[in-house]
Structure 1
Amino acid sequence: MLILRVIFLLCGRRPIMKITYDDLFYYSSFQEFTKFLLPLLLPHTGTEAAMITCHDGSSLKIAASAGNSPAKAGTSLAADEEIKQILPGKQGELLLIEDTSHYPELNECMKKLGVRSSMSVPIVLSEDNPCGFLHLFSTQPQKFSTAAQDHVKQAALVIARSLMLEHQAVHDSLTGTFNKEFLVNYFHQVNAPAALYHIKIENLPDILKKLGREEAEQVLQDAALRLKQSAGREAVTASLREGEFLLLFFRDISRETLAGHGAQIQEAFSKTFFSEKTPVKLSVSIGVSRSPADSRSIEDLLYFAEVALYESRKYAKHPTVFYHTGIKNERTLEKTIVEDLPKAFQNNEFSLVYQPQFDSETMELRAVEAFIRWQHPVLGYIPPADFLPPASRSGLIKHIDQWVIEEGCRTAASLQHKYPLSLSLNVASFAYYPEELTTFIFNTLKRTGLSPGRLELELTETEGHFPLKETKTSLETLQQAGLRTAIGNFGSGDASFNAVQSLPLHTLKLDRSFTKKMLEDKEQEKVVEQMITVAHMFDVIVVGEGVESSLQWQKLNALGCDYVQGYYCGKPVPLSILESFLEHDPTFSNAYDPFLQQNRSSL
């Protein structure tokens, strides 16, 4: 194998490459083309063997061969330091050994291999970027003619052009990974049991906003490289769309092994990525489908892996989720919901219902909170919990919020001269579009004639994301105009008292989970009392959500909670029923409850 090490040295030092041996393994057009070209070169150059080598780590590997080649495709060529010192090679020029007897150090080993002369030329994709080399060998010493040398140089140019065209056809231009079309074709070629991973970078929008397009693209390139290294040579890595990747495995596809691959991918992405501006961390969700267990169709596998991916996104830590039929129906429903949401605006399928909030001590009606409802023409009533998360993931949540603001303000404006009532609106997307929604709110108030003092804007504390800085300025602008501001579902996410401290708030709404548990758990009761106390320290009033019994109402009142809201106090009702209650029973509460009667009689 010494002659192969000589070839390695004649071809110079390892350059930075864009095409590797692993790539050539998948290039079917390249394989077919070289089967035709290499044998054709032999009679035109007076040689008996030909091969193409490509970089593979620190060595060269034979990608194709013809004739009486010293070694076959797939053979790795090692480097020898002694030979490297004797025969240094330069890139970018034709390297000739016309008679091995002129090289005493090589003569004996080359004779044993039957090689007495050779030509080697780099295959250059771009300036100073050879990806491999074309070699021709002869069993006799000979002075290669100018025509033979030209044939070899021309062949190297043709091979390089062929590689470039195939590379562009099957690779993603940004990340350098394969594209979806290649992965699909390769799956059909192999036709063997396989596992398909769908990997999505969840916080890519934040990265783009933080770093800008150019640096974010560099992070994506680094992420693709890290993914390929983590998956190893057994996997085909492909880009699906920006920030989303596919992995295809054909060997051991047992659930245990695949779960291990998922853990390795998560670990690889959990490590910091460095850019010129700032270090960043990426959060990824992973869905997996398998063939033939789930389907033999690659189209089905792609869809099922995406279904599993969306299931993974429901969890805070985004675990690796395997597809199963139970989540298919959920994903199908979600897809239908996302497709039909735009039509719902046009067809007036949305409506609002209103739930009252009461003073926990005096029982006086303080405000009503508006909740959206969707009556689908085919699916019937769709709960908010089923359509708001998909709307948020698909980017439609802002349009829903705008509809709620418009409809809520129009309703409140029609009631403001009859009843001393405030309206609370939950605007889920405010943290993402603070300036745009602030402008929309002001325009809506002007258009409907609603007094700003009658409107309370409620932000929802969501798990893992509550951007305080981005919302503070806009909330201050709204407050200066007379609007009230609140934070809902407090305690269910990560904002905690940072939000109370940092944001300009009037109201804090305790999450219903605390109301439910405080009667059964003394520790939970203490937590509720402490949250109420701290909120009052910042002059923030507290609303207890999810009140479903008089005992819960009494306990919240005893702990100092200012207002209460829940099904026991009053269920959400349409506008017509709200107006009827306001006209005939302004207290809008359960008149037959002993606790309420007792407290009313003491007023």
Structure 2
Amino acid sequence: MTALLTVAGVLTTPAGALALVGPAPVWSLLLGLLGLGSLYLGQVFLLRQRVRVEVRSSWLDPIGWTLAGAAAMIGLVGPAYQRLAGIDLAQADLSMASVALSLSSALFAASTVVRCGVREDPRVGWLSLGAVSILGSQVLLMLHAVGVGIPLLTAQLSMAVTSFAYLAVLYARPETLPPRRPMPWRQHVLSGLVTTLTALVVILGVDRSAPMVPALALAVGAIGCVGVIAYVTVRDVVALQGSHEEALTDELTGLANRRALLRALAGGPHGQYGAALLLLDLNRFKQVNDGLGHHAGDTLLRQVARRLRGEIPPEAVLARIGGDEFAVLLPGAGALDAATLADTLTQALRTDFSLSDHVVNVGASLGMAVVEPGCWNPPFEAAAAELMRQADTAMYVAKAEGRGPVLHEERHDDDARTRLTLLEELRKALRAGHIGLHYQPQVDVRDGRVRGVEALVRWQHTTRGTISPFHFLPLAEDAGLMPEITATVLEQAVRQAAEWYRTGFAVPVSVNLSADDITPDLETTITALLRKHRLPPEGLVLEITETSVMHDPTAAAMVLRGIRELGAGVSLDDYGTGHSSLTLLLRLPVTEVKIDRSFVSSLPDDARHTAVIRSTIELAHSLGMHVVAEGVETHAMLGALRELGCDISQGYLHSPPVPPAELPGILRHSGVAVLADR
């Protein structure tokens, strides 16, 4: 577009410039003005390419300059030029307007050179040279017209330079165009003041006769243009301020975001007064988000934000830094102040939250880091990042240990490095086949015979021995390794069950699934594994939890229905700990219900838990399901379950989880009773 407008200007501008020599038709001057306007628009398009942030007042300013300059030229210079050049009033006015437009274009070109430079984009230099040359040509032609003695050839040579400069734009090729900053606001203010003062001089300094009407009209127009520029500039500033606020604000909660928090950390006088940073992570947010949907999760986050805002002091900065993590910056606070506020915040979040038809309790894990006065050293951005890291490390310790707020200590950094090392070793262990299974028997409550086993994952570490899943599964989940671990567990469990079946021990194996495992591909995966290892479908039971299917129960029901059609069993694990158990029992193709150990552990003394277990067993039996009780550790628990009519008992009373090689001995000792419809 710049090249096209430049060509149009080069073809039409000479008609107006040569008309300055003496009497000429009005159309030639109008054509010259049109050409100058085309050249000016070419400069505008070039500027928009070179400046990333478009400020409209950058190209509106020259319009005001042109109007004010034309008014001054017509009102103050025009009468003398008309008399000396021997031309009529219209030609004199148009000539003055043409010179004013050229002057504005030259000034605009000069400002473009200052802002953009000419090294990466030679077009800027050629356009600027053309604008200055055409202004010089016009001045020379006017001086020749009034008899100053300037040779016409000099002006013509200047016009030739003009044409050459503008045509060079067509061949100039810019390099990679780095973004340039727009003109500073103070320059726009100065430009507006100069334009306004020039227009006022014309209005106050010329007479009110008819010949001066064009000059007065242009002066008024210049002032009006300044008003438009002021309005546009103010609107741009307001919009820019709004964008700035949006960039520093969390859209969901209205709190500060991570960028704003880091800016507050790096920009505050923490080196002189010290500061404390608290990082807070909701404990059971994922269950709410998966179980009740993202809308409920968003509602919960907004409620948490309001509750936290009501507890922090006015000088503190509260931010949501991502997901379900919040941060509080306490300027000038020490460890005691941080601990006091941390206790207040964690206590505030222990109260239930109301989400439509549901009441949830999430709680939070909170980590703290403190910088003492005089210990905040530049570069402050790096110091802010280090404080964030320390608080995050302390928060992870609080979450992993399940205790109250934790203040960062140096030993926590060692623990963090250990976790990173453990995670890397886990990746290698998966590739090396060091992730294996132990199996815990599930015993018939009535006759003590084994009716199934549950596969429990173990990590056989080369130097640390057997590592419990409680230590490495959270790491795997954070690192996105759960799909790989589930695939490994399913492969080993189906292969092992098939071996037992072939040796005469028809023992169904239960495998736990996560929410990410319940996908439309699950049926295909299970079918392939059963065929590969030639295991009858009734030899596999898939255990799911309530929270793993609550995000989309309809889709989960379709997937699990396909599993049931294969002949495999479906067990609802941790029954009673969620919020929609009855609904799930009706919607999902469940063959078995597992009562959570938190209810079983209080048997037979807790009457309330006993009533819950009794009602669960009766409900499950009425729906044609079997009931498994987890965490059975005493004969008193087993006796109570037998009286309540429970079907299967699982726990350390019968056997801890054992390696696959030890299970046949347990099966021979106890006998095997297979549930064909399980």
| Contact 2:627/2:647 (8 A) holds in 1 | yes
Q: Which of residues 541, 555, 562 in structure 1 aligns to 2:626?
A: 541
Pick 1 or 2: higher relative contact order, CA cutoff 8 A, min separation 6: 2
Letter in 1 for 2:263: F
| Contact 1:353/1:371 (8 A) holds in 2 | yes
| Contact 1:422/1:456 (8 A) holds in 2 | no
Q: Structure 1 260/384 Cα, relative in aligned 2: closer, same or farther at 3 Å?
A: closer
| Contact 1:223/1:269 (8 A) holds in 2 | no
- Return the alpha-carbon distance in structure 2 between the equivalents of residues 279 and 157 of structure 1: 50
- Return the alpha-carbon distance in structure 1 between the equivalents of residues 244 and 509 of structure 2: 55
**Can you list the C-alpha shifts for 1:474-531, whole angstroms capped at 9, x where unaligned?**
1111111101111223334434444333322111122233333213334443433332
Aligned pairs for 1:402-551 (under 5 A) are 402-430=487-515, 433-461=518-546, 468-551=553-636
**Can you list the C-alpha shifts for 1:169-225, whole angstroms capped at 9, x where unaligned?**
995697584626535532577553112233557758986999999x99999999999
- Return the alpha-carbon distance in structure 1 between the equivalents of residues 290 and 186 of structure 2: 36
- Return the alpha-carbon distance in structure 2 between the equivalents of residues 225 and 489 of structure 1: 32
Cα deviation, residue 374, structure 1? 0.8
Where does residue 234 of structure 1 map in the other structure?
A: 315
**Can you list the C-alpha shifts for 1:526-570, whole angstroms capped at 9, x where unaligned?**
433332222212111112222333443333223211122222223
Task: Flag the structure with higher helix content.
Answer: 2
Q: Structure 1 520/178 Cα, relative in aligned 2: closer, same or farther at 3 Å?
A: closer
Q: Which of residues 385, 396, 402 in structure 1 aligns to 2:481?
A: 396
Cα deviation, residue 426, structure 1? 3.2
Q: Structure 1 134/264 Cα, relative in aligned 2: closer, same or farther at 3 Å?
A: farther
- Return the alpha-carbon distance in structure 2 between the equivalents of residues 525 and 178 of structure 1: 48
- Return the alpha-carbon distance in structure 2 between the equivalents of residues 344 and 523 of structure 1: 45
Aligned residues: 444
Ranges in structure 1 where 5+ consecutive residues have no aligned partner: 1-130, 137-141, 590-603
* 1:351 equivalenced with 2:432 (yes/no): no
**Can you list the C-alpha shifts for 1:209-266, whole angstroms capped at 9, x where unaligned?**
99999x9999999999998899687345667556655442314561476348847996
SS at match of 2:503: coil
- Return the alpha-carbon distance in structure 1 between the equivalents of residues 355 and 542 of structure 2: 37
Q: Which of residues 308, 329, 336 in structure 2 aligns to 1:248?
A: 329
Letter in 1 for 2:640: K
**Can you list the C-alpha shifts for 1:398-435, whole angstroms capped at 9, x where unaligned?**
32222111110111122223325233333241466333
Identity of aligned residues (%): 25
Q: Structure 1 587/396 Cα, relative in aligned 2: closer, same or farther at 3 Å?
A: same
Where does residue 587 of structure 1 map in the other structure?
A: 671
Where does residue 370 of structure 1 map in the other structure?
A: 455
| Contact 1:529/1:559 (8 A) holds in 2 | yes
Cα deviation, residue 447, structure 1? 2.5
- Return the alpha-carbon distance in structure 2 between the equivalents of residues 218 and 566 of structure 1: 39
| Higher alpha-carbon deviation: 410-419 or 230-239 | 230-239
- Return the alpha-carbon distance in structure 1 between the equivalents of residues 608 and 294 of structure 2: 46
* 1:380 equivalenced with 2:465 (yes/no): yes
* 1:302 equivalenced with 2:388 (yes/no): yes
- Return the alpha-carbon distance in structure 1 between the equivalents of residues 594 and 287 of structure 2: 29
- Return the alpha-carbon distance in structure 1 between the equivalents of residues 451 and 333 of structure 2: 63
* 1:287 equivalenced with 2:372 (yes/no): no
Ranges in structure 2 where 5+ consecutive residues have no aligned partner: 1-184, 202-222, 377-382, 674-678
- Return the alpha-carbon distance in structure 2 between the equivalents of residues 561 and 133 of structure 1: 85
| Contact 2:270/2:331 (8 A) holds in 1 | no
| Contact 1:349/1:375 (8 A) holds in 2 | yes
Q: Structure 1 134/191 Cα, relative in aligned 2: closer, same or farther at 3 Å?
A: farther
Q: Which of residues 164, 172, 185 in structure 1 aligns to 2:266?
A: 185
- Return the alpha-carbon distance in structure 2 between the equivalents of residues 553 and 145 of structure 1: 100
TM-score by length of 2: 0.52
| Contact 1:285/1:319 (8 A) holds in 2 | no
Cα deviation, residue 289, structure 1? 1.8
- Return the alpha-carbon distance in structure 2 between the equivalents of residues 272 and 146 of structure 1: 64
Q: Structure 1 170/132 Cα, relative in aligned 2: closer, same or farther at 3 Å?
A: farther
